[in-house]
Amino acid sequence: MKRATPIYGIMAEFDDPQALVLAARRTYEAGFRRIDTYSPFPIEEAAEAIGFHRNSVPLVVLIGGIIGGLSGYLLQWWISTVSYPVNVGGRPYHSWPAFIPVTFEMTILFAGLSAVLGMLALNGLPMPYHPVFNVPRFAFATKDRFFLIIFSSDPKYSATETREFLESLHPRSISEVPS
Amino acid sequence: MDDPTKNDKVALSDQPAPVLAPGHTFATVTDKISSIVLTRPVSNGWLVGFGVCFLLTMMLLFAIGYLFVRGVGIWGVNIPVGWGFAIVNFVWWIGIGHAGTLISAILLLLRQSWRNSINRFAEAMTLFAVAQAGLFPILHLGRPWLFYWLFPYPNTMKYWPQFRSPLVWDVFAVSTYFTISLVFWYIGLIPDLATLRDRAENPAARIIYGMLAMGWRGSARHWSRYETAYLLLAGLATPLVLSVHTVVSFDFAIGIVPGWHTTIFPPYFVAGAIYSGFAMVLMLAIPIRKAYGLEDMITERHLNNSAMVMLATGWIVAYGYAMEAFMNWYSGSPYESYVLWNRLHGPYAFLYYALLFCNLALPQVLWFKKLRTKPIWLFLISFDVLVGMWLERFIIVVVSLHRDFLTSSFGMYYPTRWDWMIYVGTIGLFVACMFLFVRILPMISIFEMRALLPEAEVKAE
């Protein structure tokens, strides 16, 4: 199968974020859906332009935080009342106000780690190799250039017409991305 | 005469200095910051500075080695003062760390864009300071190799930690704080590590930066999730940083020792932490911007704003001192009143007067804008604040403990040379880490500086 599609996508290079966002909007309007942009800093409008409006990181963080808080509290409750009850001057074993600080810290710890690991997992990182790195000019995507890619898996993709479409956006350069 | 910007400067002198000097582009900020790491040769000044700190680190290791052989008896601690330098230094270091999280998380949520050029090294400072702080309670354990007993894990002794003790809360607070600070710093670094990966000439550097960057390619979907995760982390780190010094203050406030048992401690500790933390940020930023020519990225505006944060938190600390003294009197407890008398007239009184001078009197010169923008003055005042905040912790720990309830158990505390060696050694290790950091990682967030440029803005259609 790989031999049949040696091209991963076609990539256009732009000089500034304004041009990238305009090009991305026009590409989306032209009906392309499997597209992406690459930029050296976050551009909210670029994500909007390619039709990526919501991500599920907040949900992952919420779940992580709830698990952290519950496990922190239940751990303390179980230790203090079931496994290792220590009578301190007749005070209750389930002395919940004393358990708040650790519950809080565990909530933050789990939520924070979920934010980091969830973001990396959803982004598919770490991924040392990726076809876009085959384009030599792509090294500037972490400096001062802005890239738009139409993946060959897009249903509207066609080797010649897609290239012509990208040329109509007046990019600085166009390169094919070998897969 | 032929410099047209000169006149502008005069005309604009009432305006706040810019966050980033004009004339930069995406390429120049990238080149300027990454070249410090990638191409700049090692200077003699760096070698001498790092060498001194390395020697101090060796002294620290020697002192810790001797401590392991002989035990905490080599320190000045004894009854009644069982918490000497170890706890003083623990609180001091962890307080210093707080400014980094304040800058990186709280100022991010408040949309203070001036934070973007100082957050990276402030976060590094947090990590290194919390690492020093973490050493002290462990060394103070007496049997430091059993430190893991503090964590709840199933064991054959059928034992669990006591969760009603603030000392156990401290274990959770400090380890969570270190972990979250580390991941926050690391994910902030990922896009910049990708920049270094793409720009490094040296193949080994390219591989190492490449592995650390985890294949970051700046995709719009990735950036979107990245920004969400970063913002959420900032939102989580904000209550976390307030909780950490609150829990540290509980170590004292939950005890019944006169001078400790007070409800003002949590806010007063947090304010003091930020006070000393900003002093450390300035003490690091001022020489770094000079040595690496970063005056157009760490501008007068940063110095001025940091100095104002110091002034404001200094007054919260002053309120804390006033309220402590008031409560000593208002409580009607003879033991509490004696705390104040002992601070003003006891054997350590000279330290209390030095504290009032360092933390309250001298920093008031920061009301003058002229001094807030003079690096050398700010450097000296920051040093003064760090000394003052260290004295504050010494007074809280030692002066409260050395005379509490029973006259028969009054005593004196004198630090030994081992106390001093470990304290000075941690300063050496901390600065050595900073020396290494500025050479191997970008000390200013490159991608956030790019986003600060006017051409980064995308106009609505």
| B422 in a structural domain | yes
| B121 in a structural domain | yes
Mutate: best of B20, B24, B26, B156, partner A, most A CBs <10 A? B26
Q: Are B406 and B376 in contact (CB under 8 A)?
A: no
Beta-strand pair A7-14/A35-38? unpaired
| B16 in a structural domain | no
Work out the minimum CA distance from A160 to partner chain B, whole angstroms. Answer: 24
| B403 in a structural domain | yes
Which of B26, B19, B192 has the alpha carbon at shortest distance from A17?
B26
Q: Are B288 and B294 in contact (CB under 8 A)?
A: yes
> Per residue in B24-69, pLDDT tens?
888 888 888 888 888 888 888 899 999 999 999 999 999 999 999 9
Q: Which pLDDT does position B5 carry in this prediction?
A: 43
Which of B446, B207, B298 has the alpha carbon at shortest distance from A144?
B446
Omega before B80 within 30 of 0, i.e. cis? yes
Q: Which pLDDT does position A4 carry in this prediction?
A: 52
Q: Which pLDDT does position B460 carry in this prediction?
A: 67
Placement of tokens 């490449």 in the chain: B210
| B173 in a structural domain | no
Q: Which pLDDT does position A62 carry in this prediction?
A: 96
CA distances from A74 to A86, A100, B173, B408 (A): 17, 11, 18, 45
Confidence of residue A152 (pLDDT cuts 50, 70, 90): confident
ipTM above 0.95, yes or no: no
Question: What's the angle, vertex CA B95, arms to CA B403 and CA B288, rounded to 5?
Answer: 135
Q: Cα–Cα distance between B65 and A78 in angstroms, integer?
A: 39
Averaged pLDDT, groups of 10, chain B, 461 residues long: 42 60 81 82 90 96 94 91 92 91 84 82 91 92 89 90 90 93 91 89 89 90 92 92 92 90 91 92 91 84 89 94 92 92 93 94 91 90 94 94 91 94 95 92 88 79 59
Q: Which pLDDT does position B28 carry in this prediction?
A: 84
Q: Which pLDDT does position B4 carry in this prediction?
A: 43
Domain ranges in chain A?
A: 6-53+127-178, 57-122
Range of the domain at B428: 21-163+257-456
Residues 26-85 of A with CB under 8 A from B: 36-47, 49-50, 52, 55, 57-58, 61, 65, 75-76, 79-80, 83-84
| B187 in a structural domain | no
> What is the phi/psi pair of residue A10, to 5°?
-120, 135
Closest chain B residue to A97, measured at CA:
B164
Q: Cα–Cα distance between B354 and A68 in angstroms, integer?
A: 45
| B9 in a structural domain | no
Q: Cα–Cα distance between A36 and A151 in angstroms, integer?
A: 8
- Rounded mean pLDDT of chain A? 87
Q: How many beta-carbon contacts under 8 Å exist across A and B?
A: 206
SS (H, E, C) chain B: CCCHHHHHHHHCCCCCCCCCCCCCCHHHHHHHHHHHHHCCCCCHHHHHHHHHHHHHHHHHHHHHHHHHHHCHHHCCCCCCCCCCHHHHHHHHHHHHHHHHHHHHHHHHHCCCHHHHHCHHHHHHHHHHHHHHHHHHHHHCCCCHHHHHHHCCCCCCCCCCCCCCCHHHHHHHHHHHHHHHHHHHHHHHHHHHHHHHHHHCCCHHHHHHHHHHHCCCCCEHHHHHHHHHHHHHHHHHHHHHHHHHHHHHHHHHHCCCCCCCCCCCHHHHHHHHHHHHHHHHHHHHHHHHHHHCCCCCCCCHHHHHHHHHHHHHHHHHHHHHHHHHHHHHHHCCCHHHHHHHHHHHHCCCHHHHHHHHHHHHHHHHHHHCHHHHCCHHHHHHHHHHHHHHHHHHHHHHHHHHHHCCCCHHHCCCCCCCHHHHHHHHHHHHHHHHHHHHHHHHCCCCCHHHHHHHCHHHCCCCC
> Per residue in A88-112, pLDDT tens?
888 899 999 999 999 999 999 999 9
Confidence of residue A1 (pLDDT cuts 50, 70, 90): very low
Q: Which pLDDT does position A143 carry in this prediction?
A: 84
Closest chain A residue to B30, measured at CA:
A143
Verify whether the Cβ–Cβ distance B458 to A17 is below 8 Å. yes
Work out the minimum CA distance from B251 to partner chain A, whole angstroms. Answer: 12
Region A6-53+127-178: CATH code: 3.30.70
| B273 in a structural domain | yes
Give how many domains chain B has, as a whole number.
1
Q: Looking at residue A41, what DSSP letter applies?
A: S
* pLDDT tops 90 at residue A141: no
